[in-house]
Structure 1
């Protein structure tokens, strides 16, 4: 059977005007890292002008100012370019439910769709790194001593750190389950398991896969 590998995907992160596109919030920056065999091979980054001003909290939180956005391409243009970058790859985000909402909303505005599946490094880390102080991206980067050089809450840097965290998660899963090849579906299974029995659920998944 065809395996969809967990270390071949596009890691994506959005900075936004607020928490929910259902409340009219829009994306203002996108950053992405393409992983092949767990190695970053290509990046995508762009500010985007949503056609509205951002409030002072967002400016301070992200460092993205209204002046910066005034010179940026409109959201529609940036999202068309990102769709070309993404192709048919699967996707990963830290707290994927947030980024997926904005990705879906921005693509809906331009009548575009993507074919990839999403994985979530936040949910997976809660199972695999359950001894971390918490599962915020910055905390996990420090907890795993991942090299960092940049500022959190900017889209490309967050995507790069999420990519490093994902590779660390894959390494831990390989070690604990004594396997070499990891399907994306296995990582999705782990993310949905309880903290107590994620290894049990993973082994059930592997047993089922090997039986096919």
Structure 2
């Protein structure tokens, strides 16, 4: 029997980085994660990460994270195994992020660099789900700040990893409530919905590009 969403352990993660892509040399500077089950927070993870490179000025302006703040922070080699331990087994935990492809690209890149096998985590992108669940009448866009305002989250997103992860938790719960009215109550149904939503959005994107 498929596990119910209320029985599923979600690990909501957010990263701050030195740039847009690990393929272009950008690195993780901060990891925040919140583990939730049945609507309750059961654990939090927060750490700076020394990227061993200067932080671009525009990143410092956006996040408030400076080179000085990271000078004595652990490097990713020290942080990564602890993070994976926090997340737990891929059979038990589902990773959630707002714009998940971004966060997952950095985590998978770190795993590859450190020669860690990447666990086969199931993942949910709250952007993809929100675009399918909410209408333009609800929200003008699906940025985290917009969704946080729409759902009235207690934590305001501020481009810092743990606060953004906490806000994403509340957005996730708001989206799950909406999905409940569509009779999506199991993890399997949620993953199917998210997969279909991503496919529809890709089709729409390429349809718009071709017109």
**TM bucket by the smaller chain?**
0.7 to 0.9
The CA deviation at 1:4 is 6.6
Q: Gaps spanning 5+ residues in structure 1: where?
A: 198-212
Task: Name the residue aligned to 1:114.
Answer: 119
Task: Name the residue aligned to 1:138.
Answer: 145
Q: Gaps spanning 5+ residues in structure 2: where?
A: 201-211
Q: Any residues of structure 2 matched to 1:121-200 within 5 Å, and which?
A: 121-130=126-135, 131-148=138-155, 151-177=157-183, 182-193=185-196
The CA deviation at 1:2 is 4.2
Q: Distance in 2 between matches of 1:104 and 1:4?
A: 28
TM-score for the superposition, normalised by structure 2: 0.84
TM-score for the superposition, normalised by structure 1: 0.84
Task: Name the residue aligned to 1:98.
Answer: 102
8 Å CA contact 1:8–1:38 kept in 2: the answer is: no
How many residues of Structure 1 are paired with residues of Structure 2 in the alignment? 192
Cα distance per residue 1:122-150 (max 9 Å; x no partner): 1000011123111000001101222225x
Q: CA RMSD in A?
A: 1.9
Q: Distance in 1 between matches of 2:160 and 2:167?
A: 11
The CA deviation at 1:71 is 1.4
The CA deviation at 1:76 is 1.1
Q: Distance in 1 between matches of 2:179 and 2:131?
A: 13
Q: CA distance change for structure 1 residues 31 and 194 in 2, over 3 Å: closer, same or farther?
A: closer
